[in-house]
Amino acid sequence: MTTLIDGKALAKKTNEITQQRVSSLAHQGITPGIAVVIVGEDPASLIYTRNKHRKAQKLGIYSVLNQFPATISQAELLTEIDRLNADEQIDGILVQQPLPVQIDPAVVTQAIAPDKDVDGLNPLNLGKLFAGEGGHYPVACTPRGIMKMFSEYHVDLTGANVVIVGRSILVGKPMLALLNNANATVTLAGSRTKNLSALTRSADILIVATGVPQLIKEADVKDGAVVIDVGINRLPSGKLAGDVDFAGVKDKARLLTPVPGGVGPMTIASLMEQTVDLAQWRHHG
């Protein structure tokens, strides 16, 4: 019997705790702040950033949404990031991707101060994560949200055979480090990995983040596996679909995230939670 992981319910629970923390900090004269920067008019990015902005405001977080034309130069964008790095009201900075061709995402990520890197993608923070360092530093929000799902649904990671399909810096690579630090045995694959199906069928836990609609079919999944579908794709019919064939896998997996309503809500909840973390760490260490 497959259990669907309810990302909406877990996000609601997470946001309630975040709101309580924001209220507690307010009594100390501290208001966590986030700045979301978007370049251009990508429709999906505009919806996503506005949702983040509204959610932050609803939770009592100070939020600014800075939109720039697609023609902005890299130098001009870096000047804006420098300004936000120095802004005492801002604890977390997020630059929404994709970015126009004239802007190097790696340069932008490196320009964000590590202690304001709410997306957890600055090389210093990634290095700490891969080194398994203790202490306070941000980690990528989607993997952070997935780890909370594992905790909530009592998924034992110790010694588990995990396969991640998708090697992005946003999901696959930080997910690898988090799971490795949790004593799982992790394989990082891509959509072009040879004999991918044989590899995914060996996984106790399968995490898919490729952007390829319904890449993973029923035959690619081990009986009783935990399947985390990070993808969200709009099909020609207009319907949303994940990277996993939900209809085929739903009776085979032990735990499965739906699309939508699975990983997505937890990504935004983790972003809000981490913004409050950054404020707390800045003021209290």
Active site residues: 52, 96, 119
Give the amino acid at 52: K
Beta-carbon contacts of residue 205 (< 8 Å; ≥ 6 apart)? 155, 157, 160, 161, 162, 163, 184, 225, 226, 227, 228
Q: Which residue has the tokens 């404020």?
A: 279
What is the C-alpha separation between 70 and 39, in angstroms, rounded? 5
* CB distance 46 to 38 below 8 Å: yes
Q: Which helix (H) or strand (E) holds 200?
A: helix 196-200
* CB distance 165 to 200 below 8 Å: yes
Which of 141, 143, 140, 137 lies closest to 113, judged by CA? 137
What is the C-alpha separation between 88 and 49, in angstroms, rounded? 22
Radius of gyration of the chain (CA): 19
Give the amino acid at 4: L
What is the crossing angle of helices 263-284 and 43-58, to 10°?
A: 50
Give the amino acid at 102: Q
